[in-house]
Amino acid sequence: MDSSPRNKPKSLSTNLFFIFFLLSTNFLTFFLSSILNSSSCYLINPPGITIPTTTTASVSVSEGDSASVPSEFLAFTSGQNLPFGFNTNFDSDTIYPPVGRACTLFPDELRRYMSYKVNASCPDDELLAQKLLLKGCEPLPRRRCRAVGPSHYIEPYPLPKSLWTTPPDSSLVWTAYTCKNYTCLINRKHTQKGFDDCKDCFDLQGVEKIRWTQKKGNGGLDFSIDEVLATKKPGTIRIGLDIGGGVATFAVRMMERNITIVTTSMNLNGPFNNFIASRGVVPLYISISQRLPFFDNTLDIVHSMHVLSNWIPTTLLHFLMFDIYRVLRPGGLFWLDHFFCVGAQLEDVYVPLIESVGFNKLKWVVGRKLDRGPELREMYLSALLEKPFLDA
Ligand SMILES: *[C@@H]1O[C@H](CO)[C@@H](O)[C@H](O)[C@H]1NC(C)=O
Ligand SMILES: *[C@@H]1O[C@H](CO)[C@@H](O)[C@H](O)[C@H]1NC(C)=O
Ligand SMILES: *[C@@H]1O[C@H](CO)[C@@H](O)[C@H](O)[C@H]1NC(C)=O
């Protein structure tokens, strides 16, 4: 339990919150909140799911608090005094949580999310939480309740069996998804009409089995892991990140080579994070808007397939590419795998954007993307980029 932080008087902390709030400009929230409005294949709202509305407001809103801001949100976002006063590392005597600004742009969802019984179980509201997060309330505010868990959890299969075995259905809570079991997820590539992110990914005996294992596939766009690793001294690629890595088969393949990869994923109509963890590799639940939670010049490799593409607002993509550059160590690799866009966008927008970041090009392959028909004039770029040892 926390050691009773000496809160400032309510009125003062509330005032501080609003000052902090007013001082903020809106330009970042613009990028963050525009993600869902772009024409996206990857951020589809699952159909036919209703958000539970029966949440319990148990914390009374104290006098003077704005009616539009839930009290638990204020409790979390208000500055908290450090118990031992001024701290030279912080250069401050107060700590603020890194959420707040965009959350209050969505007062209805925020109120539903932050209205719950303190010290009790949380509502089963994963879908609501993810929508709020994707719109820009990221990271989500912490809550003082216990997240919903599966009622019949079974411990994971041991390694290495877990890497390629479908976990039991009882290992997670299915409320947020159209499918209610893994059989349904595995079969949805045959049975389901609409497009879902990574529709055939849960079938570990399907395309997942051969990804990144074959050399020179698909007009040169499919690099194999081994040909990428061969560009570096053996053993020097050890740790890295896969952005939007589906069910983390990339991390699994790398683990088989003793390389540790963390995989970011959302749970877009499927329990991606649970599935990744069940396989025995690390899922990281952050969207593409979030600053990467790694220090500068630390990772050996960053990979991303399909996700970094033209559905991302261009300015956000530019920030994101620089963030990848930041976390890579000198000589680190950025494998941009099947970036896609339409026709002239590649030359007009994306090639200059990627080149402005300052990577060396080790491999650069452009090809047609034909899966949705040639008339769409879609293009793929697969590139292997290297952070230079000396800044340009
Ligand atoms: C929750 O637990 C804390 C710590 O014991 C306590 O101070 C607080 O009053 C409790 N809140 C509610 C609403 O039960
Ligand atoms: C899986 O779910 C589908 C419907 O989503 C249901 O028809 C089927 O019986 C379930 N299968 C198992 C093994 O539970
Ligand atoms: C991975 O590490 C283990 C233990 O150090 C070693 O026995 C194995 O050969 C390594 N595998 C690869 C592919 O390097």
Instruction: Give residue 194's pLDDT band: very low, low, confident or very high (50, 70, 90).
Output: low
Which residues, other chains included, contact 352 with Cβ-Cβ below 8 Å and sequence gap of 6+?
none
The per-residue pLDDT for 338 is: 94
CA distance 363 to 313: 25
β-strands 378-386, 260-264 pairing: unpaired
- What per-residue confidence (pLDDT) applies to 326? 98
pLDDT value at residue 15: 41
Name the residue at shortest CA distance from atom 4 of ligand 1.
1
Report the percent of the chain where pLDDT is more than 70. Answer: 80
Q: Mean pLDDT of all residues in the chain? A: 83
6-29 pLDDT per residue, tens: 333 334 444 444 434 433 333 333
The bound ligand whose nearest atom lies closest to the alpha carbon of 117 is 1
Q: Which residues line ligand 1 (CB under 6 A)?
A: 1, 58, 118-119
Q: Is 185 in the pocket of ligand 2 (CB under 6 A)?
A: no
Residue 258: C-alpha distances to residues 11, 35, 159, 208, 244 (Å): 54, 35, 13, 19, 21
pLDDT tens digits for 37-59? 333 333 333 333 333 333 333 33
Mutational pocket test of ligand 2: of 184, 186, 190, the residue with most ligand atoms within 8 Å of the beta carbon: 184
CA dist 358 and 337 (Å) reads 18
- Return the pLDDT at 67: 57
Residue to mutate, 254, 258, 259, 260, ligand 3, most ligand atoms under 8 Å from C-beta:
258
User: How many Å lie between the centroid of ligand 3 and the Cα of residue 257?
Assistant: 7
Query: Out of 57-61, 118-122, 172-176, 219-223, which region has the weakest mean confidence (pLDDT)?
Result: 57-61
- Decide: 302 and 241 in contact? Cβ < 8 Å: yes
Contact criterion met (CB below 8 Å) for 242 and 261: yes
Per the model's pLDDT, the better-predicted residue between 351 and 98 turns out to be 351
Looking at residue 28, the DSSP 8-state letter turns out to be H
pLDDT exceeds cutoff 50 at 111: yes
* For ligand 1, atom 5: residue with the closest CA: 1
- Assess whether pLDDT exceeds 60 at residue 112: yes
pLDDT for the residue numbered 217: 64
Mutate to test the pocket of ligand 2, among 170, 179, 183 (most ligand atoms within 8 A of CB): 183
Query: Which residues are 382's β-sheet partners?
Result: 365
Given a contact cutoff of 8 angstroms between Cβ atoms, the answer to whether 169 and 320 are in contact is no
Which pLDDT value is given to residue 32? 32
What contacts 24+ positions apart, CB below 8 Å, involve 317-326?
317/353, 318/353, 318/356, 319/31, 320/288, 321/353, 321/354, 321/357, 322/357, 323/291, 323/292, 324/243, 324/292, 324/357, 325/357, 325/358, 325/359, 325/387, 326/292, 326/296, 326/297
For the beta carbon of residue 233, count every other beta carbon within 10 angstroms: 9
Tens-place pLDDT, residues 312-352: 999 999 999 999 999 999 999 999 999 999 989 999 999 99
- Rounded to the nearest angstrom, the distance between the alpha carbon of 65 and the centre of ligand 1 is 20
Percent of the chain with pLDDT over 90: 69
pLDDT score for 392: 58
Do residues 59 and 71 lie in contact, with contact meaning Cβ atoms separated by under 8 Å?
Answer: yes
- Indicate which atom in ligand 1 lies nearest the CA of residue 144: 1
Residues contacting 92, CB < 8 A, separation 6+: 82, 86
Which domains are assigned to the chain? 10-135 (no CATH), 161-386 (3.40.50.150)
| Predicted local distance difference test score (pLDDT) of residue 1 | 35
Of residues 7 and 205, the one with the higher pLDDT is 205
